[in-house]
């Protein structure tokens, strides 16, 4: 198979959820074709063609929908692993487009470096400081359940965003088709939540922060300014690995 790319350099693979607006290019004649984004998808999302400065191929992890990924169902885990297998021969790095793909990490065995979730950066954050580590996530309860067996769980301070008015719309399957996600409202809500948690909540004593949700890196600068701690996120890490 002859690959074509829009630029020279390293190539990135993105694993998307099976949802409206998520591209699936891995089986196209040119897997790295720069397709126009689905209407209603802002530029700050991993599946928008302007987010990454390198050639990107997309594969969808399709387990039939539902909350299987949040619950760590075998079907969801197998779907993520299958998407990795599709992208691996084509790409130099593979990244998951949902932090809850963390639950599939033990099922992935690939020669291509793969980061399924920002939560895989936790060891770096925990080893870099003796202070607690904050996790900014979508669903606090699911994340806590997923990390319950982590050896340093007592050092984790988990805060969710899914209860915030605009962030809650991520659970709406028509969020892109109906342009429900107001970027400024998302930014304002997450910054206000960070200020509150820093002053009187879970983030008062943290030494660093890890972003779980892949909708959050677009607000990285605002989050760092609000919390004033080093912040780990999968997008910044991936771009550094790619030399971008």
Does the pLDDT value for residue 2 go beyond 60?
no
Does the pLDDT value for residue 7 go beyond 70?
no
**Residue 183 in contact with residue 189, Cβ under 8 Å?**
no
**Residue 215 in contact with residue 190, Cβ under 8 Å?**
no
pLDDT score for 71: 80
Antiparallel, parallel or unpaired: β 208-211 and 133-137:
parallel
pLDDT score for 85: 97
* pTM for the full predicted model: 0.92
- Cβ contacts of 163 within 8 Å, gap of 6 or more: none
- What's the rounded mean pLDDT across residues 124-143? 96
Q: Which of 28, 103, 105 is nearest to 60 (CA)?
A: 28
- What's the rounded mean pLDDT across residues 23-39? 92
- Per-residue pLDDT band at 8 (split at 50, 70, 90): low
Q: Which helix (H) or strand (E) holds 71?
A: helix 68-71
- What's the rounded mean pLDDT across residues 212-226? 97
Does the pLDDT value for residue 95 go beyond 80?
yes
What residue ranges do the domains of the chain occupy? 12-116, 119-232
pLDDT score for 38: 82
| Lowest model confidence (mean pLDDT) among 16-20, 32-36, 99-103, 166-170 | 16-20
pLDDT score for 50: 95
- Per-residue pLDDT band at 87 (split at 50, 70, 90): very high
- What's the rounded mean pLDDT across residues 172-190? 86
pLDDT averaged over the chain? 92
| Lowest model confidence (mean pLDDT) among 94-103, 166-175, 196-205 | 166-175
pLDDT score for 5: 46
- Write b or e for each residue in 123-144: b if 16 or more Cβ atoms lie within 10 A of its Cβ, otherwise e: eebbeeeeebbbbbbbbbebbb
**Residue 244 in contact with residue 56, Cβ under 8 Å?**
no
pLDDT cut 70: percent of the chain above it:
95
Fold adopted by 119-232: Rossmann fold (3.40.50)
pLDDT score for 40: 81
């Amino acid at each position: 198979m002859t690959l074509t790319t829009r630029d020279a350099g390293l190539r990135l693979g993105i694993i998307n959820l099976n949802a409206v607006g998520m591209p699936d290019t891995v089986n196209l004649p040119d897997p790295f074709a720069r397709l126009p984004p689905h209407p209603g998808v802002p530029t700050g999302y991993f599946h928008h063609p302007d987010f990454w400065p390198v050639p990107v191929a997309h594969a969808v992890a399709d387990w039939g929908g539902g909350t299987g990924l949040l619950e760590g169902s075998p079907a969801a885990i197998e779907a993520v692993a299958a998407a990795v297998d599709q992208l691996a021969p084509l790409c130099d790095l593979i990244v998951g487009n949902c932090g809850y793909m963390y639950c599939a990490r033990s099922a992935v065995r690939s020669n291509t470096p793969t980061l399924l979730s920002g939560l895989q950066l936790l060891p770096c954050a925990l080893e870099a400081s003796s202070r607690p580590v904050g996790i900014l996530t979508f669903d606090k309860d699911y994340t806590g359940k997923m990390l319950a067996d982590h050896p340093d769980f007592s050092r984790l301070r988990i805060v969710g965003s899914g209860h915030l008015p605009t962030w809650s719309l991520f659970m709406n399957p028509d969020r892109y088709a109906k342009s429900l996600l107001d970027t400024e409202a998302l930014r304002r809500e997450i910054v206000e939540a960070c200020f509150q948690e820093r002053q009187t909540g879970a983030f008062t004593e943290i030494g660093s922060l890890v972003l779980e949700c892949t909708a959050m890196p677009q607000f990285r600068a605002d989050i760092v300014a609000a919390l004033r701690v080093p912040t780990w996120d999968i997008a910044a890490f991936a771009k550094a690995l790619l030399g971008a």
